[in-house]
Chains A and B, each alone.
Chain A
């Protein structure tokens, strides 16, 4: 791949000092490449907002570097920093539109800031409103719009300066599922048509699955895991990742004592094989499902199941063999605490 558009190296951010210091970020290293949709997921307080605010220097890192398109943001200040920020714009959970300006004027706002003549700015703003499907609301005020519409205006506004990167901090967290889906598909469409790199911050798994190609899992201020979405979600290896993939945890109270368990992953087959029933029919082995989480990502079936193996060692081996022989399934025997 080409050079990263955002490269974060050894980034730390500490709020306060001494006894009361909060280490919000610790030694973060990330590479985000041009044209990708990169997800950053983590539970509340993990430091997601702090991380994304370090990318446009709304927050000043305590140490480390933030390279945007090869330029070290942490070395910039004043006019140069303001100029650089036009390349990395942002949308927010609470939209943050100017309530006393019409939609059109809101989209004109960033162009006004950099001195683009008003007629030209208006023309471009109209184009952008058309792009997000809100040309008919140009003269409406934000208070007259629904949440989804407000976020569309915010997106149009964020695109006004032709940024290379669009940062989305919990951009869909205040929206209902249908509206969330439409905003996500808009982001995906903009990413494909304009080639703008999108960084999506969220605590919602569905958001990442829906549009991201790669993801970093943030936990307690550091990156627990990062990589291709499918790999991480089908086989979470860290506790932090498992907590996100199985938000409700795995119930263990109904598991027979001393059970052996196997974790199987469906790795992108087009359908879920009727594994459990074929185990029973082909091998005569009965297994029970301890936990299951399956989803469809980019049209492929992914998921994890935790099966308990029979106590009888022979039967267990038979079942394991059978599972291993299946396509698009990987299995791994796991120690299971009761």
Chain B
């Protein structure tokens, strides 16, 4: 344990840890980005097609209204399936797709598709809950002023939900960060990979503790950064 403070430890593992950190950050960053590209529109669609969603309430044609309801049901079902699959299983399941998409099943690149696929449904639900917090009266006011659905999404739902979306964002990133550690188990690299290979398989305790501390610091930084940002941007708190 005390070898942690020796320069020998750092000269041997420093580079490795730095690379691990970088890999973890890369995986987390890109997966979050792509997962939001998928999850955000899905979450918006969930709200719009929900029972009190504007696509339902402003649809006078009963056939179209039922169609909208059906879309909502199917979407909800697909999202629930995605969320109930354990990540490690999903990762193995989508390997052919991963190979086809990014050309490899392993490494940082190979981890991103499964991370995106498993995080997107989660993010869709987070976005749905954030947007549901937007006061329905505000949405109605926008409708009464002649706003289109598109305008309501871009000018009411998303801007009004920004503080909540950012808090949701921190939860999503931290969840994805935790998943990268699991992905590490099947050769994705990153801090999780180091913890398993050195900490667990080679029983080098100090290496395990260092990765744990690194992850802890990362989580702390992300959380406090996003919390501050959310408070800073929330105009209701002035």
Contacts and interface: CB of A to CB of B under 8 A. Distances in A.
Interface of A: 56, 58, 60, 77, 81-86, 89-90, 92, 94, 96-102, 109-110, 112-114, 141-144, 154, 157-158, 161
A99 B235 contact: yes
Contacts of A84: 146
Given A82-B146, A110-B145, A113-B147, A98 B156 contact: yes
Nearest to A88: B144
Contact of A85 (B145, B162, B233, B235): B145
Interface of B: 60, 135, 137-138, 140-148, 151, 155-156, 159-160, 162-163, 233-238
Given A99-B235, A114-B146, 10 more contacts: A58-B140, A85-B144, A89-B145, A97-B138, A98-B138, A99-B160, A100-B159, A100-B233, A109-B145, A144-B238
Interface centre among A77, A96, A161 (most CB of B within 10 A): A96
B146 A86 contact: yes
A82 B138 contact: no
A113 B138 CA distance: 15
A85 B142 CA distance: 10
Contacts of B140: 58, 92, 96
Contact of B159 (A82, A83, A101, A143): A101
A99 B137 CA distance: 12
Interface centre among A113, A141, A144, A161 (most CB of B within 10 A): A113
Interface centre among B141, B147, B163 (most CB of A within 10 A): B141
A96 B145 contact: no
A94 B141 CA distance: 10
A156 B160 CA distance: 20
A196 to B, nearest CB: 15
Given A94-B137, A143-B237, A113 B144 contact: no
